[in-house]
Amino acid sequence: MKWTTFRCTLTGLFIAILGVPLSAQDNAGLLKTAPPQLVIVADLMPDQASLVLQVYGEKPVCELKVRKFTVRVDGKNVEREEIYEVCRMVWECKQMHWAAEQGKALDTSGKPIPHADLFKRLKKGDMVLLKFGDEVDLAWLKALKADTVVLLMPPPIPRPKGPPAIQPPKPEPWAKQPPKLETGFDW
């Protein structure tokens, strides 16, 4: 299952479990943005006005395997090998840095939370919602408890394609020819 599918399913479950009724106006705006992602506060740094967040997600891991089998060729059993790829999804935990000067913190009504109050409300191990972008639809926020914190963060900058910015140094050319080996033969 892809991570985005998992997030949408999880969000749907939250809405179904909480049983929050949504009006026709709310349903119209429900699909404008993706839902926020659940993350865990790993560390608080009020002196730097930042948080360290743990983000969980799935990633594909593929490996090559060898299968041995026997086939019959010209009346004889011949051992053969087949190489095949097996892919599976594994959970991974990444840490992300959220800085107050780059992002915003909102309550469930969509109002900004002052940074001083944010660090009083949160503690290590709390679950918060993280959304990349400048806003989150109020339809997603209605399904949350009143004291839930939503963190907005600018989207990550995509890496440029092509060679790396720093090229490895080129090896020095030989200053002299390598020594000849004495083999006893005169070519």
Report pLDDT for 146: 82
User: Cβ distance 92 to 57 under 8 Å?
Assistant: yes
Tokens of 105: 């913190």
User: What does the pLDDT read at residue 19?
Assistant: 46
Given a cut of 70, the residues of the chain with pLDDT beneath it are 1-31, 159, 162-187
Straight-line distance from the first to the last Cα atom of the chain, in angstroms, rounded to the nearest whole number: 66
- pLDDT digits over 22-63, tens only? 554 555 544 577 788 889 999 988 888 889 999 988 899 999
- Distance from C-alpha of 39 to C-alpha of 13, rounded to nearest angstrom: 17
DSSP class per residue in 81-107:
EEEEEEEEEEEEEEEEEEETTT-EEE-
